[in-house]
Structure 1
Amino acid sequence: MSRLAEFRAAEKALQEQLALLEQMKSDAALKRELAFEEKLVALMQQYGKNLQDIIPLLDPPRSLSGASTPAPRTRRPRVVKVYENPHTGELIETKGGNHRGLRAWKDQYGVDAVEGWVRR
């Protein structure tokens, strides 16, 4: 791109930005925010405070607010147990004791005997 074309593009972009700036200057919401900022800065200077002093007052840390919530508890994942029936050679893999086949074995052979069948 030639220098003249770059100049014209930059000039056009500048005109667009100036038009946007003039439009924003007439915005009522922006005027209210600017007035608030001016008053806030004047108030901070009057009391000798800065933003680092004010932010903790307006938005206190959660731990100091008194409404502390305990950290959610997470359960330890259950370990897969493998039971091997020595009479039939059948294997059952389960994370809990509510397996249909495992309950049948416990009813038939007894809880203590079946717990002895856990593979290590």
Structure 2
Amino acid sequence: MSKLSEFRAAERALAEQLAHLESLKNDSVLKKEIEFEERLAGLMKEYGKSLSDVIAILDPSAGLPSRRGAKGAPQARRARTVKVYKNPNTGEVVETKGGNHRVLKAWKAQYSNATVESWLQV
């Protein structure tokens, strides 16, 4: 692309952006949002509150960490369910709560992960 065509493309894009900006300036919804934001900022300044204070007032649960309770103690995890795999070739059964079982790993290495997962008993 030549410099001239690049310049004209940038000029067209700028003109489009300016037209879009002008249409936004005349938008009544945007004007109301700006007015709300200005009034809210004024109220926050008047009462000495920050944005996080306002959020805490409007939604007290928003500021809490997701894995912590009200007193900061970690919440108990959901107990893992026991998975039972049965090898159809040998009839051997493995019960595990995770995927770190020695026999299960050996089966996955020998047969493939998808095949062993199909042995999961419901």
Q: TM-score range by the shorter chain?
A: 0.5 to 0.7
CA RMSD in angstroms comes to: 3.0
Counterparts of 2:16 and 2:43, CA distance in 1: 36
Deviation of the 1:3 alpha carbon: 1.5
Provide Cα deviations, 1:7-43, integer angstroms capped at 9, x if missing partner: 1111100000010011111111111101000100111
Per the alignment, residue 76 of structure 1 pairs with 81
Deviation of the 1:76 alpha carbon: 2.9
Counterparts of 2:85 and 2:4, CA distance in 1: 75
What is the TM-score of this pair, normalised by structure 1? 0.53
Higher RCO by CA contacts (8 Å cutoff, separation 6 or greater): 1
Per the alignment, residue 46 of structure 2 pairs with 46
Q: Alpha carbons of 1:80 and 1:47: their partners in 2 closer, same or farther (altered >3 Å)?
A: same
Residue identity opposite 1:52 in structure 2: S
Question: What's the secondary structure of 2:9's corresponding residue?
Answer: helix
Deviation of the 1:80 alpha carbon: 6.6
Q: Which runs of 5+ in 2 are unaligned?
A: 71-75, 93-122
Instruction: Report 1:1-120 matches (<5 A).
Output: 1-61=1-61, 76-77=81-82, 79=84
Residue identity opposite 1:42 in structure 2: G
Counterparts of 2:83 and 2:7, CA distance in 1: 70
Counterparts of 1:79 and 1:52, CA distance in 2: 48
Provide Cα deviations, 1:27-84, integer angstroms capped at 9, x if missing partner: 11111101000100111111111112111111111766xxxxxx89667336479xxx
Q: Tell me which stretches of 4 or more aligned residues in structure 1 moved more than 4 Å.
A: 71-75, 78-81
Q: Which runs of 5+ in 1 are unaligned?
A: 65-70, 82-91, 94-120
What is the identity percentage for the equivalent residue pairs of Structure 1 and Structure 2?
56
Larger radius of gyration: 1
